[in-house]
Structure 1
Amino acid sequence: MTAGPAAAARPRNRKQLIVEAAGQVFSERGYHAASMEEIATAVGISAPALYRHFPNKYALFAGCADLMVDRLVAALDTCGPEAALTDVLTALTRVTVAHRRSGGLYRWEARYLDRADRRLLRAKFGHVVDRVTTAVHREHPRPAERLRAVAALGAIGSVTMHHTSIAQRRIEDLLVASARGVVAADPAAAEGLAGPVDLPAPPVPRTRRAEILAAAVPLFARDGFATVTNGQIAQAVGLAPSAIYRHYPGKVDILVAACLQAAGLLAQAVERSLHRATGPDAALTALTAAYVAYSFEHNALTSVAEAELAGLPAGLRRPLILAQREHIAVWEQQLRTVRPDLDARQARLLVHAGFGVVVEAGRALRWQDTPGHRDTVTALVIGALL
């Protein structure tokens, strides 16, 4: 009996194709929202065929997480230990841009790995950071070398978190230049750069509805929206689980309220910072300082909004995406005023690079909110933009 056309056409690298497709689905939909059936459809196979390669969704997810970091390590190995900083950054950028659709799972979704897999992933990324730090030390030997290396990787990795479309070579050039700007920044000269920032405070929870929201946000930030139960939220507020439904129709409505609160507070912070600025350069610095201060002060709220937005139903996500676009448009305008050499898409790419710097530098600093940390991260973001 001869095999049919489908069997004859079966690719030898099917497992790799599965991991590629799964990485994109996990990155765009989130670990919990993605299904094995959806991934199988993306590959063009049946779900049973998918299970022949991976016994469950977690095994596939862990394989996706390993693949991207292994590619980064392999790219560095081709450079050699004495490679120049630009060559190191270029190698990492090319891999990241080539696989930008699947790289987004690292920023937020890697928290769903179990402890052993997370430790392994952290060790591999640590090797990447070590290599970049060594190159930074050779070319820009000054304080905070490892922090600048991590922040530069944040600028590069930012391309996995948005869909701005530019020619691939131009993206690579912009990101390498942005990463070089980050590592060239001098944290020691950044004292006072952020200056005083007038941040809006979150509303004091005076109602049960507000108390539920205030209790849910840190739980979502720590454990992820999908794993937190209404029972945990109710316990944090001192309510019976059924009482939650008197204030929110479902858990997703709490998440939407948190995202809307984050967008509102950020819009107020931006408006206040730009209102006091005089001149384009001062406006860009004030905008950066406000965003950095906001990210440190409201870290749980911002991480929830950024990590969980993609998993919301389309109808609930739409107003939040509009608010996000309005915020980015402000950045584009301010950056292009200072840098008229950029078109709108290039400016948007660099703005996202700046956001990536804040996330990775903030994590490296464990979000310890001090004036020095705010100044340092503000300087790193300005380096990424300019």
Structure 2
Amino acid sequence: MSEAPAKTPPKQQRARQTYDLLLDVAGELLAEVGIERISTNLIAARAGLTPPALYRYFGDKYAVLETLGRRLMERQNAVLEAWIARHAGGGLDAMADHIGDLLAENAAVTRAEPGAVWILRALHATPRLVHVRLESHRYVTARLAEACARHLPGADPETLWRRLRLAVELGFAADEMLYEETRVASDAVLADVAAMLRGVLRELG
């Protein structure tokens, strides 16, 4: 007879709920007031907590923003891992044929994140946070390079990584552009980017 799964102790569960609440509130506030005006006091007040309670989890507002960035990147990475699991075994053609799915699923998970556009802006504009975006894009590049290298035994690893790094930057940049550019349809942009990335993947072979 199997044992019942262990439950999270109440104190740990409450701490996790508070932690997630602070992040959700911070994302919503970021969308309302922007990077410069958001503060730990505002976040704590909106969450119904005192500033000292917030400081149990985050040292300052930049720690909150970094955690928001990392949470968003982790959710994007989960989309990537699921996509690789579905399509990498089929070779470069299978990945190329389904690159549009990856772009669309990544866009959907990003838009579901509270304050996503402002999180992305913070990762671009704040020197203390730039490394979060860079680490994430390098991670995505490395995972795609691993998936492609299985089907390209003679490929130069540095060339493969460089080309995929450019492709990754294009995909993320196009998605971010759609938060601000109103003169183009998002579906059309994602379709155009998918076509470009399909070309990159097929040229690798």
Question: What TM-score, normalized by structure 2, do the two folds share?
Answer: 0.65
Deviation track 1:85-143 (CA, whole Å, cap 9, x = no partner) reads xxxxxxxxxxxxxxxxxxxxxxxxxxxxxxxxxxxxxxxxxxxxxxxxxxxxxxxxxxx
Task: Quote the offset at 1:318 in angstroms.
Answer: 4.5
Distance in 2 between the 1:214 and 1:282 partners? 36
Distance in 2 between the 1:263 and 1:334 partners? 19
Distance in 1 between the 2:59 and 2:195 partners? 45
| Contact 1:266-1:291 within 8 A present in 2 as well | no
Task: Quote the offset at 1:272 in angstroms.
Answer: 0.6
Q: 1:361 to 1:248 in 2, by over 3 A?
A: closer
1:33-52 matches, within 5 Å, as: none
Amino acid at match of 2:92: P
1:198-237 matches, within 5 Å, as: 207-237=17-47
Task: Quote the offset at 1:298 in angstroms.
Answer: 2.5
Q: 1:376 to 1:333 in 2, by over 3 A?
A: farther
| Contact 2:29-2:115 within 8 A present in 1 as well | no
Deviation track 1:24-62 (CA, whole Å, cap 9, x = no partner) reads xxxxxxxxxxxxxxxxxxxxxxxxxxxxxxxxxxxxxxx
Q: 1:297 to 1:265 in 2, by over 3 A?
A: closer
Q: Which residue of 2 aligns with 1:272?
A: 82
Amino acid at match of 1:213: L
Q: Which residue of 2 aligns with 1:297?
A: 109
Q: Which residue of 1 aligns with 2:68?
A: 258
CA RMSD across the alignment:
3.5
Amino acid at match of 1:359: E
Task: Quote the offset at 1:213 in angstroms.
Answer: 0.6
Task: Quote the offset at 1:330 in angstroms.
Answer: 3.3
SS, match of residue 239 in structure 1: coil
Q: 1:304 to 1:330 in 2, by over 3 A?
A: farther
1:384 corresponds to 2:190: no
Deviates more, 1:223-232 or 1:303-312: 303-312
| Contact 2:174-2:190 within 8 A present in 1 as well | no
Correspondent of 1:357 among 163, 174, 191: 174
Q: 1:364 to 1:335 in 2, by over 3 A?
A: farther
Task: Quote the offset at 1:349 in angstroms.
Answer: 2.6
| Contact 1:332-1:347 within 8 A present in 2 as well | yes
Deviation track 1:289-314 (CA, whole Å, cap 9, x = no partner) reads 2343232332345434432224243x
Q: 1:301 to 1:281 in 2, by over 3 A?
A: farther
SS, match of residue 173 in structure 2: helix
Distance in 2 between the 1:377 and 1:293 partners? 14
Q: 1:361 to 1:380 in 2, by over 3 A?
A: farther
Q: 1:298 to 1:251 in 2, by over 3 A?
A: same
Amino acid at match of 1:358: D
1:308 corresponds to 2:118: no
Distance in 2 between the 1:263 and 1:382 partners? 20
1:327 corresponds to 2:137: no
| Contact 2:103-2:194 within 8 A present in 1 as well | no
Distance in 1 between the 2:49 and 2:42 partners? 10
Q: Which residue of 1 aligns with 2:58?
A: 248
Distance in 2 between the 1:288 and 1:227 partners? 37
1:119-130 matches, within 5 Å, as: none
Task: Quote the offset at 1:216 in angstroms.
Answer: 0.3
Distance in 2 between the 1:210 and 1:270 partners? 23
Extract unaligned runs of 5+ from structure 1: 1-204, 367-371
SS, match of residue 63 in structure 2: helix
Higher radius of gyration, 1 or 2: 1
Distance in 2 between the 1:305 and 1:285 partners? 30
Distance in 2 between the 1:230 and 1:286 partners? 42
Question: What TM-score, normalized by structure 1, do the two folds share?
Answer: 0.38
Number of residue pairs matched by the alignment:
172
Distance in 2 between the 1:380 and 1:219 partners? 33
